[in-house]
Every structure is written in C-alpha cells, then in structure tokens.
Amino acid sequence: MEATKQQIIEAFQFRHACKEFDSSKKISDADFQFILETGRLSPSSFGFEPWKFVVVQNPAIREKLLPVTWGASKQLPTSSHFVIILSRTKADMVADSDYIQNMLTNVKQFPEEIRANYTKIYGKFQETDFQLLDNERVMFEWAARQTYIALGNMMTSAAQIGIDSCPIEGFDKANAEQVLREEGILQGNLGISCMVAFGYRVSEPRPKTRQTLDQIVQWVN
C-alpha cells in the first residue's frame, strides 16, 4: 500500500503542463487506449457522461486549428496525440432529451419505473437545486465541468506510465468549433469544453510549486 501511494505521488510530481513535445516520439496504441479508457471510466453527475473525446491526428486539421488555438502553438505541431474534449449542450442535457433517456434506457438499462423516478429527480435538480434551465451557457458550463474530471484522470493516468500532457483552454471557442464543423467533426448538440495534448517532453520542467496543505485545507470537526 505504501509503495502504491508513493507511485501515485511520484506521478503527480512528474506531471506538468508540457509546453513542447518531442515530435519524434509517439505514444503506443496500447498506452493511448489505456489513457482513453481512464477517461471513459471517469465519474460524472448522475452518471450521464456528457463528453466526447475527439483525437485529432490529422496534420492538416491541426494546422487549421493553430490560428484559433493560441494556447497550443507548440503543442499542436509536436504532440503525439491531441484530444479535443467536447461537452454536451442544453438540448442533450435536459431531463426529457433523447440523449438522457437513451442513457437511462440503453446504457444504464434501468427498468421503466426507475427511469421515471430518475428523470423526475434529475429534472428537479436542474430546475431547483442548481437552477440550470434558464441559461444555455450555464447548462453547457455545468456539463463542461464534468469533462474536467475525465481530463484530470487521463492526465494522471498518463503520468503514471511516463507520458506527458498539457491541458489547454487557450483557444477561440467559436472559431475552433467552426473549424470542426467545416471538417464534419462537430455535429449534434456538442461544443468544445477543453483540449489536451499528450506526448513526451523535450526538456525538464522547473520544480513544481503549490500552496501548502495548511493554506488550502480547512477541517471542520
């Protein structure tokens, strides 16, 4: 157990926002499938998995994204794998949507009476508890927050097997989405939540800096 804990901490120490990758080194198919699987298995609110992972390996499409993705000026050309994480919009995330009902029926395989109760509870949560229904962007951002759980898990799992990563929010959302639409990639009720590049570093990062536990943790006993 202590050895496992040490390995996990070492992975967190290893992980950093890698700004440039060694373009000559490629992640194996097996290793990248492992990373994607940790994203797929990540938790989400009500278990509705409001994400889609688009792995952009096409050099021409990466080139088109470059002018509207200023935060990945070095990562887009050099990363082994570049992932755009999409989040579902309000049309898919409301309680009576086809997407939610498909999740309840065909993915979770709930019987009819449980589906009806789950739908009711979920609808109340959105309308009353979190007040999500009045604003399209608020609903999108609520779903997008969940994609960051998958993002974090994929970056951590990558670090545990010696693979670098960099999360990216530096992009023009509307224009990046337009590029994906023109390429036939972005379809349906989805928008870009964030991006993440994976590969192998070309240089060592500076030492990690963080606040202490005492500065960020409050115990209420």
User: How confident is the model at residue 62, as a pLDDT?
Assistant: 98
**Cβ contacts of 58-62, under 8 Å, gap ≥ 24:** 61/179, 61/183, 61/185
User: How confident is the model at residue 100, as a pLDDT?
Assistant: 98
- Residue 95 vs residues 91, 164, 188: alpha-carbon distances, Å: 9, 38, 17
User: How confident is the model at residue 182, as a pLDDT?
Assistant: 98
Report the alpha-carbon distance of residue 173 to residue 166 in Å, rounded: 18
The strand order across the sheet containing 51-55 reads 51-55, 81-88, 190-199, 164-168
User: How confident is the model at residue 201, as a pLDDT?
Assistant: 98
Query: How many other CB atoms sit within 10 Å of the CB of residue 216?
Result: 8
User: How confident is the model at residue 147, as a pLDDT?
Assistant: 98
Please write the tens of the pLDDT for every residue from 2-15: 999 999 999 999 99
User: How confident is the model at residue 139, as a pLDDT?
Assistant: 97
2-94+133-216: CATH number: 3.40.109.10
What is the chain's mean pLDDT, rounded? 97
Please write the tens of the pLDDT for every residue from 52-73: 999 999 999 999 999 999 999 9
- Return the ∠ at Cα 192 (arms to 38 and 129), rounded to 5°: 80
- Residue 82 vs residues 44, 98, 164: alpha-carbon distances, Å: 22, 30, 12
What single-letter DSSP state applies at residue 108? S
User: How confident is the model at residue 183, as a pLDDT?
Assistant: 98
- Residue 147 vs residues 28, 83, 115, 151, 218: alpha-carbon distances, Å: 24, 12, 24, 6, 26
User: How confident is the model at residue 57, as a pLDDT?
Assistant: 98
